[in-house]
Amino acid sequence: MPPLPGLRRYLISLTCLGSLSAVVVLVQAEGLATLLTGGGIGVPLVVAIAARVLLVGGQGVFTGRFTASVKAGLRRRLLGSDAERAGVVATRITKGVDVTDSYLTGYLPALVTSALVPVAVLVRLFATDLASALIVAVTVPLVPVFAALIGLHTKSRTERQWGLLSRLGGHFLDVVRGLGTLKVFGRAGAQERTVREMAAAHTDATLRTLRVAFLSALVLELVATLSVALVAVPIGFRLLEGGVTAHTAMLVLVLAPEAYLPLRAAGTKFHAAAEGLAALRDVLAVPIRSPRTGTRMRRRGAPEIVLERVTVHYGEHRALSEVDLSVRPGEHVALIGPSGSGKSTLLAVLLGFVTPTSGRVLIDGVDLRELDQADWLADVAWVPQRPTLFRGSVEENITLGRETDVATAAKAAALDQVVAGLPEGYRTRIGELGEGLSSGQRQRIGLARALARTDTGLLLLDEPTARLDHRTEAAVLSATRRMLGGRTVVLVAHRPAMTELATRVIEVHAGGLRERELT
């Protein structure tokens, strides 16, 4: 597990706060003993009480801030992780990061305090009254011992429970996504049963954990209360016999519970924190894509692209082998070839989404790896094979927050007729799966999104009209043609009609390229 950023500073600060509270506890007990034996309210007592209030409040603010920043960092990290199942990622980013609260703001501070305050109290007791100090010294360790015994029993349980919750999230999303298909094939009932069973298992696991948590709280309270009684009874008798002064007896009585209090607090927070710790381990163990480190900026405008012996592997599978390609600025290249031949992979390499296993990509003579990724992507418009839509209006899905001419782009993508049929036009809200839209309509939104970016030097089109009928395709192609001037274009053509946009046609076959004569 990689270390949590800033954890050391946090622990050091908590230790300082804990030491301060230990001092304050001692001063306060001294003052209370004086007050209760008729000595009157002293200034130290008032100061100690005020300081205790401030310390508790200050610690709350401090731990809250630290946890908020840690959580933001974890979420950012998770967003950059290699996505596996979306549902698992979603559970991690929301619930997974939230439950770390219980560990970071609840358990850790309590743990630090429980290591410092009892020691300070014990030292003070040994200096005051040996017999009471010995009783406390023997009984205080009982609290963590009992807590550890119960904890051992529940650790595996909470970890299992967290795993169960992640799986449930992943499964649920998959099922909901595929509900339409499942319904058609009459399998919806079986899935409903699975989800119901998993939810029931999760409920059971939660209740079992809660039961143990309540039981352990009871045990810890009992141990602490009995221990205090063990100190209080003999001290009472000795006070009657005149063995100790009233002030000493009071001091011991006020101090003894303070030795158990932080341990009890840590014990009760332990169970909630166990889930938080399990989640934290899980979140930190997620592999993170190494960030691209390029920093070079380039001048905007149609780029020259050169691929030199570019090979791409997906695990064992080789998708591109030693590809050489040179595209002049402003040239329009069409890639053709059977499905699975590596056309989309080539575009992904140009975008920088896929890093070649060997070989290099030169943009205007500069290695793509040396370019600042955000700066490079700002000059690329891309129509992916399956555009990703976001929850929001049609308009927001086209502009992606930029200032663009939505109407013109939509018209070029033949989206205007589609939008005219929507209940609220461009303001119609769509979900991230494009609910209520056909795959052709979704593709047109993706096309409009790319065409709206008229200012980019490079345009990448991946089968942009694959889901359109011939008439719409013809309209889209003639509108698109008008937007290509002065830009470098690489398009994946799945139909001959599209190659008409190109000045050069290249055939991709099993990861290799072959130039085709233009007919």
Work out whether strand 366-367 and strand 429-430 pair parallel, antiparallel, or are unpaired.
unpaired
Shortest separation between residue 338's beta carbon and ligand ADP, angstroms:
7
For residue 160, with 0-12 CB atoms within 10 Å meaning exposed, 13-18 middle and 19 or more buried, which class applies?
A: middle
**Residue 345 touches which of ligand ADP, Mg ion, none (Cβ within 5-8 Å per kind):** ligand ADP
Residue 271 contact partner, candidates Mg ion, ligand ADP, none, CB within 5 to 8 A by sort of partner = none
Query: Residue 333 phi/psi, 5° resolution?
Result: -110, 130
CB of 117 or CB of 347, closer to Mg ion: 347
Rounded least distance, CB 340 to Mg ion, Å? 8
Q: Quick one: which of 55, 110, 223, 319 contacts ligand ADP (CB under 6 A)?
A: 319
> For Mg ion, which is the closer residue by CB, 385 or 454?
385
Residue 293 binds which entry of ligand ADP, Mg ion, none, CB below 5-8 Å type-dependent? none
Q: How far is the CB of 341 from Mg ion (least distance, A)?
A: 9
Q: Which of 34, 161, 191, 345 binds ligand ADP (CB under 6 A)?
A: 345
Position 471 contacts ligand ADP (CB under 6 A): no
Q: How far apart are CA 17 and CA 27, in angstroms?
A: 15
Using CA atoms, how far residue 140 sits from 18, 208, 214, 262, 350, in Å, is 18, 28, 21, 11, 65
* Long-range contacts of the stretch 18-24 (C-beta < 8 A, 24+): 18/109, 18/112, 18/113, 18/115, 18/116, 18/117, 19/116, 20/51, 20/55, 21/52, 21/55, 21/113, 21/116, 21/117, 22/116, 22/117, 22/119, 22/120, 22/121, 23/120, 24/48, 24/51, 24/52, 24/55
Q: Is 314 in the site for ligand ADP (CB under 6 A)?
A: yes
**Among 341-349, 393-401, 434-442, 467-475, the segment contacting ligand ADP (CB under 6 A):** 341-349
Nearest approach, Cβ of 422 to ligand ADP (angstroms)?
31
Examine residue 344 and tell whether it contacts Mg ion (CB under 5 A): yes
Among the listed residues 257, 267, 342, 464, the single contact to ligand ADP using CB under 6 A: 342
Write b or e for each residue in 240-278: b if 16 or more Cβ atoms lie within 10 A of its Cβ, otherwise e. eeeebeebbbbbbbbbbbbbbbbbbbbbbbbbbbbbbbb
Cα–Cα distance measured from residue 317 to residue 322, given in angstroms and rounded to the nearest whole number: 14
For position 317 contacting ligand ADP by CB under 6 A, the verdict is yes
Residue closer to Mg ion, measured from CB, 453 or 494? 494
Give which of Mg ion, ligand ADP, none residue 163 binds (C-beta under 5 to 8 Å, depending on kind).
Answer: none
Quickly count: other Cβ atoms within 10 Å of residue 66's Cβ.
Answer: 20
Which one of 339, 420, 482, 517 is in contact with ligand ADP (CB under 6 A)? 339
- Residue of closest CB approach to Mg ion: 344
353 interface partner picked from Mg ion, ligand ADP, none, CB below 5 to 8 A per type? none
Binds 237, which of ligand ADP, Mg ion, none (CB < 5 to 8 A, cut-off by type)? none
Least gap, CB of 340 to ligand ADP (angstroms): 4
- The distance of closest approach from Cβ of residue 385 to Mg ion in the complex, given in angstroms and rounded to an integer, is 5
Q: Is the Cβ–Cβ distance between 28 and 124 less than 8 Å?
A: no
Which residues 6+ apart lie within 8 Å of 216 measured at CB? 146, 147, 150, 151, 154, 267, 268, 270, 271
**Which window, 217-225, 233-241, 284-292, 343-351, contacts ligand ADP (CB under 6 A)?**
343-351
Question: Binding ligand ADP by CB under 6 A: which of 343, 444, 449, 494?
Answer: 343
**Closer to Mg ion by Cβ: residue 344 or 480:** 344
Smallest separation (angstroms) from ligand ADP to the CB of 196: 34
Residue of the chain from 344, 441, 456, 465 that contacts ligand ADP (CB under 6 A): 344
Closest listed residue to residue 255, CA positions, set 129, 138, 121, 133 = 121
Give one DSSP letter per residue of 67-136, joined into a string. Answer: HHHHHHHHHHHHHTB----HHHHHHIIIIIHHTHHIIIIIIHHHHHHHHHHHHHHHHHHHHH-HHHHHHH
Least CB distance to Mg ion at residue 383 (A): 12
Residue 21: alpha-carbon gap to chain centroid: 34
- At residue 511, the 3 state secondary structure works out as coil
The encoded tokens of residue 10 equal 């946090």
* Site string (398-427) toward ligand ADP, x via CB under 6 A: ------------------------------
Tokens found for residue 107: 């358990």
User: Mask of contacts with Mg ion, 358-397, x by CB under 5 A?
Assistant: ---------------------------x------------
Q: What is the DSSP letter of 404?
A: -
314 touches which of Mg ion, ligand ADP, none (CB within 5 to 8 A by kind)? ligand ADP
Query: Applying CB under 6 A, which residues contact ligand ADP?
Result: 314, 317, 319, 339-345
Q: Which residues contact Mg ion (rule: CB under 5 A)?
A: 344, 385
